[in-house]
Structure 1
């Protein structure tokens, strides 16, 4: 049974103009996202900046209310739009969500913006207990020890730490209530490469120790490959491909996935030089996407710009796009065991 199940998740942000704040339309930030995370699993969510990954994280943790769709977590409906799982908690406000937040925590991208600068680390780590009306059952020193920090750090303030140490504090806070699922919103993107490896290894060790599940959001495919069990590729608010880690890297099927993987630098300078000299789009060549993505703006009572239409959103940058891609939006379909792709002309690498 899945721990988290998201179906057809949609989030539109209103756009208002003028002194009267007239509603001009909406920005379709998330448009029909579906994903599943099982117990003890890590699902990596990747895509370029602005594709809606962080919005998905905020919707799942109910920091934002979804426009439509369903979010089922541990037998509860978090979206507040009904469904088969009861009791629904979305319509009950923050009070109804409070029990859910014990099992569903989040690690934010910027550790310093998510930590109160006026509080000591001890106060920060006791915050989840205060919110739940509980007495701390673990000393701050014990939580810090879990993430590789020393006991004397408990009485310091966030500005006294490096970026990697501050992120460890954020992870310790997320683990305080022993959650089942932790949503990690680009937790290593602001850190140095050496510190990134330390945080990723820490997350993996904690998962093995406590049986955690992760939704790991990043644009760095190297980090996603290191920690993920399965990977979902997101483009302009939608999932375009899902597969287990090894299948996605060995046999990508969507043209956008091919382009993302071709941008990952190779550790061998000779191999990298060979790839840079290979024909564009070849089996080893760097793929450079041309063109612009369609506008996510949806006018009031209408549709987005004509180039978006109802077809494939990637077609304005895809070398294989044709009339079918302009007329019909592809749906996720299974092309191999455990691999789904939203493309009319998928191409798996041999």
Structure 2
């Protein structure tokens, strides 16, 4: 008998294709047949270069975008193609924190209105929504008396705390955090990551943590999924991925992360990838990474590798014909 609890979120063979803005040009496949799961109370990090499809994946999960193919299942229910009326009650459980705190907050509204809006949409009274907004201000480390100020009166870190408070207003179970600290100073980044981890413990939250900074992901996440040109090329527990990266792309990303030890930084191997990522409108045949891969062979140019278990860990999967030995 299988006693493994059902995942909170399941993404299966999801693809997102956008029509090209140019006439007769090929459509852009931003996300290409990805699959992963997020358990209740877990943080899954989604990492990769700009343009690899991370943010598009996050927007599909909270249904700001409708996937072209595949299935997104939340709490055992397929939400891939629900209409707006069916999505409204579901949005209590699925919320998003955006990358740029100031551009994601309405400059014409007070903080009270910004945090209260999700509750008002869900049917709360104005008095109830304001009371909840005040509680959330305190929960995220802001002064409740500042609730009637406007976003421009707050620093970047404070504005991101407001964005987090807004995401928590409806009591979600899953929060998609799209580059939540990349626009902030390094010292402020640590504060926001600490805040998110505390809130996760107190509120039993699950996160999909989208980022390109692997040092932040290592601190914030339980598992890591690495994306390249719309596909997941490696996924596993962070200890496995960071200690023994199996995909050449993962190894290259990790080699670019600065080390705190100057001696180790000077002597370690740096992997430099040649060329630029291919266009998602015209991906190369076979493995999408083969034009930049130092290990590419003929099979890589003709046959796309599938995610499969690699090494001694059952949780770690790699899409590579010649993965590194653990």
TM-score norm. by structure 2 comes to 0.94
1:116 matched to 2:106? The reply is yes
Shift of residue 294 of structure 1? 2.5
**What is the SS of the residue equivalent to 1:36?**
strand
Write the deviation string for residues 191-233 of structure 1: whole angstroms up to 9, x where unpaired: 0000000000000000010110000000000110001011000
Structure 1 partner of 2:77: 76
Q: Distance in 1 between matches of 2:24 and 2:75?
A: 37
Identify which of 225, 234, 243 aligns with 1:232.
225
Shift of residue 293 of structure 1? 2.7
Q: Distance in 1 between matches of 2:318 and 2:55?
A: 22
Q: Distance in 2 between matches of 1:324 and 1:149?
A: 56
Structure 1 partner of 2:322: 345
Structure 1 partner of 2:3: none
Structure 2 partner of 1:295: 279
Shift of residue 23 of structure 1? 4.7
Contact in 2 for aligned 1:14/1:23 (Cα 8 Å) = no
**What is the SS of the residue equivalent to 1:113?**
coil
Q: Distance in 2 between matches of 1:185 and 1:15?
A: 24
1:4 matched to 2:5? The reply is no
Identify which of 97, 106, 115 aligns with 2:96.
106
**What is the SS of the residue equivalent to 1:205?**
helix
Structure 2 partner of 1:13: 18
Q: Distance in 2 between matches of 1:228 and 1:251?
A: 17
Q: 1:200 to 1:259 in 2, by over 3 A?
A: same
Contact in 1 for aligned 2:97/2:164 (Cα 8 Å) = yes
**What is the SS of the residue equivalent to 1:34?**
strand
Contact in 2 for aligned 1:16/1:25 (Cα 8 Å) = no
Contact in 1 for aligned 2:132/2:169 (Cα 8 Å) = no
Write the deviation string for residues 262-317 of structure 1: whole angstroms up to 9, x where unpaired: 00000112221222xxxxxxxxx0100013333211xxxxxx36xx12x0000000
1:126 matched to 2:112? The reply is no
Q: Distance in 2 between matches of 1:194 and 1:340?
A: 34
Q: Distance in 2 between matches of 1:139 and 1:103?
A: 17
TM-score norm. by structure 1 comes to 0.88
The alignment covers a number of residue pairs equal to 316
Structure 2 partner of 1:279: none
Q: Which runs of 5+ in 1 are unaligned?
A: 81-89, 276-284, 298-303
Write the deviation string for residues 234-270 of structure 1: whole angstroms up to 9, x where unpaired: 0000000001011111111000000011000001122
Q: Distance in 2 between matches of 1:217 and 1:34?
A: 16
Contact in 2 for aligned 1:12/1:67 (Cα 8 Å) = yes
Q: Distance in 2 between matches of 1:139 and 1:156?
A: 16
Q: Distance in 1 between matches of 2:76 and 2:323?
A: 35
Map 1:320-339; keep pairs closer than 5 Å.
320-335=295-310, 336-339=313-316
Q: Which runs of 5+ in 2 are unaligned?
A: 1-5
Shift of residue 344 of structure 1? 0.3
Structure 2 partner of 1:146: 139
**What is the SS of the residue equivalent to 1:247?**
helix
Kindly report structure 1 stretches of 4+ aligned residues shifted beyond 4 Å.
none
Q: Distance in 2 between matches of 1:289 and 1:151?
A: 49
Q: Distance in 2 between matches of 1:30 and 1:140?
A: 36
Map 1:22-41; keep pairs closer than 5 Å.
22-41=23-42
